[in-house]
Structure 1
Amino acid sequence: LGTPATRMAFDAEHEAVLATLARRDRLDAAITAMAADSPFTPVVHRLCCLRGISTLTGFGLAVEIGDWDRFTGNTIGAFLDLVPSEHSSGASRAQGPITKTGNAHARRLLVEAAWHHRPAYRIGATMRARWDNAPAAARARGDAGNRRLHERWVRMLERKKRPTVANVAIARELAGWCWSLAVMED
């Protein structure tokens, strides 16, 4: 930054970034507070038993989907359009990419959460803290889901699937695990 004008431009943009980060942090805190005292709180606590689903993600999914009982573990993926498109004629059947016509926000939350299942599964302090807020049945179900989703990642990578394709498949299965936790009785 050799000239004063360049330095001023940098400082102005840096201040804008800092202001945006501060605004994001304030909004995250406000959403977390809303999630702690809402009709969705029990669902959020159960969803947080899965890796990649924090309070903000769980609250976003709970609000976007609303009534989880209208789905099954198989149909939730179709509602979010995490299933492949299909072109069929006679005996031929060709599957294509996902159609992306469902709930885009919930789909994005699940796709981002699915990336967290790629590394080896270890129960850390963050996961234990989330489990403390959930019932024992939800903790056990979340642990089983975390193990299975990581194993699916490993199998897909062994089959040389592209990571983005594998991630959408994991997100589709993650939607089913979220459904099973959301409809669970406390």
Structure 2
Amino acid sequence: MLQEMILAESQCRERVGRLEKAIEDSLRDWHLAPIVERLQALRGVRLICAVTFMVEIGDVRRFANPRQLMAYLGLVPSERTTGESVRRGSITRTGNARGRRVLAESAWTYRFPARVGTRKYLETRHLPEAVRDIAWKAQARLTKRYRTLVANGKKTTVAITAIARELAAFMWAIARLPVAVDPA
């Protein structure tokens, strides 16, 4: 029984590897591939997250500011306004569920102290300095924000949702940076 489970698990890992390889191969011809590569400079954003985000969002230039992107993803608080009183509730969840899900999954990595590991450094050293600066600014801000929210008594899931909302803004900023075209 245990041997069957171990075999099933290894077969699943192999399948995931094949699927990721197929996604990497399909990126070669995609016009958004440079943006996908740049998004991976952010902590917690790997190939699947970056590709899913760009597939669900498409051209980020259609959002004039990060708030529009956050609203599209359903990461803005609901609001009930009556005269002078304004009550804010939980997130609206009316937007793109897949995009919201990958951002929330990535946001969990911001629970840990800000640092650039060897692996992330090696993966991002060829990227433009502006991208690396935004990624570091995101990491420093979001790790601090997470700790502040939790220290103030917020539930971890609420804090993660807030981090996901801000992560969307950093992804918007990276995706809007100009991409140099190789004369080939």
> What TM-score does the superposition give when structure 2 sets the normalisation length?
0.88
Shift of 1:22: 2.0
Are residue 82 (structure 1) and residue 75 (structure 2) matched? yes
Structure 1: give runs of 5+ residues left out of the alignment. 1-6
Contact 1:46 1:134 in 2 (8 A): yes
Letter in 2 for 1:149: L
- Following the alignment from structure 1 to structure 2, what is the Cα–Cα distance between the partners of residues 97 and 111? 15
Are residue 27 (structure 1) and residue 19 (structure 2) matched? yes
Structure 2: give runs of 5+ residues left out of the alignment. 180-184
Q: Which residue of 2 aligns with 1:4?
A: none
Alignment length, in residue pairs? Answer: 178
Q: Which residue of 1 aligns with 2:59?
A: 67
Contact 1:110 1:171 in 2 (8 A): yes
Question: Which of residues 145, 149, 165 in structure 2 aligns to 1:152?
Answer: 145
- Following the alignment from structure 1 to structure 2, what is the Cα–Cα distance between the partners of residues 131 and 85? 37
Indicate the SS of the match to 1:85. Answer: strand
Contact 1:121 1:147 in 2 (8 A): yes
Contact 1:111 1:167 in 2 (8 A): yes
Are residue 166 (structure 1) and residue 159 (structure 2) matched? yes
CA pair 132-34 structure 1, distance change in 2 beyond 3 A: farther
Shift of 1:36: 4.7
Indicate the SS of the match to 2:66. Answer: coil
- Matched-pair identity in %: 37
Q: Which residue of 1 aligns with 2:85?
A: 92
- Following the alignment from structure 1 to structure 2, what is the Cα–Cα distance between the partners of residues 14 and 150? 36
Q: Deviations over 1:3-30 (max 9, x none)?
A: xxxx4xx555554443333212210121
- Following the alignment from structure 1 to structure 2, what is the Cα–Cα distance between the partners of residues 35 and 152? 33
CA pair 87-55 structure 1, distance change in 2 beyond 3 A: same
Q: Deviations over 1:67-108 (max 9, x none)?
A: 100111221111100111122222222222112221111110
Letter in 1 for 2:116: I
Q: Which residue of 2 aligns with 1:128?
A: 121
Q: CA RMSD in A?
A: 1.7
Q: Which residue of 1 aligns with 2:175?
A: 182
Contact 1:35 1:55 in 2 (8 A): no
> What TM-score does the superposition give when structure 1 sets the normalisation length?
0.88
Q: Which residue of 1 aligns with 2:44?
A: 52
Shifted more, 164-173 versus 59-68: the winner is 59-68
Letter in 1 for 2:153: K
Q: Deviations over 1:111-155 (max 9, x none)?
A: 011111110011111211231242111111111111111111121
